[in-house]
Amino acid sequence: MNFFWFPIEHLPVIILVMLIAFSVHEFAHAWTAWKFGDDTAYREGRVTLNPLAHLDWIGMLFLVIAGFGWAKPVPVRRSRFRKPRLMNIVVTAAGPISNLLLAFLLLFVFYLLIALNVFDRTSSDLYHNILIFMNYWLNINLALLLFNLIPVPPLDGYRIVEEFLPLRTRMIIQENSQWIMFGFLIVVFIPPLRDATIGRLMQLKSPILEGMQWLLGLVF
């Protein structure tokens, strides 16, 4: 039985992709907050693409073993924004959007290389490895996009929805956040519950990928 969520022979590629995807995601939060007037993350050294600034080793281990993980959350003080609600939504959305852009960027480069006939001079083994890398790059970045949009604290999706909730509702959720997170972890780690909820959400990766391919098909 494989101890890891992914094939062990692919772990180097998977870890590389995860480090990039997590780092860009957290950098997007930190950089956007900094540009909007909150230098909290900047002063903590989070406006960087250095993975060591964002890496949570336990979260990384969980992702490799269980297919579910996290990085260090970026500290944001929305009170420092000129328009706290709007700018906090943008700062929060910047993370998932960055993963969408990463997926689109690699797909764009792949289509460009095909148009330039670069792969005609590539060995079958190298082309196979490129496809493996692309597969993980697209799947991990799109998974981070969708997973972070789940409206459960402390995920990005909740931080966006929170801006539209009444104060009393936010306080109730905050008081029960530990129980909510515990219930969420149960859903994540029990396969039938996971398949019926998060698994269905992850099925949206296919139409998103198809949409990007359609758009690139218009260009190439």
Number of Cβ atoms within 10 Å of the Cβ of 180: 16
Of the candidates 102, 93, 91, the residue with the CA atom closest to the CA atom of residue 21? 102
User: Kindly report the CA angle at 185 between 179 and 186, in degrees rounded to 5?
Assistant: 90
Task: Give the whole-angstrom CA distance, residue 1 versus residue 205.
Answer: 28
Task: Give the HSE-up count for residue 6: Cα atoms under 13 Å, Cβ half-sphere.
Answer: 21
Token pair recorded at residue 84:
């706290």
Cα 141 off chain centre by: 5
Q: Give me the catalytic one of 26, 162, 163, 175.
A: 26
Token pair recorded at residue 69:
């993980």
Active site residue 44: no
Which residues are catalytically annotated? Answer: 26
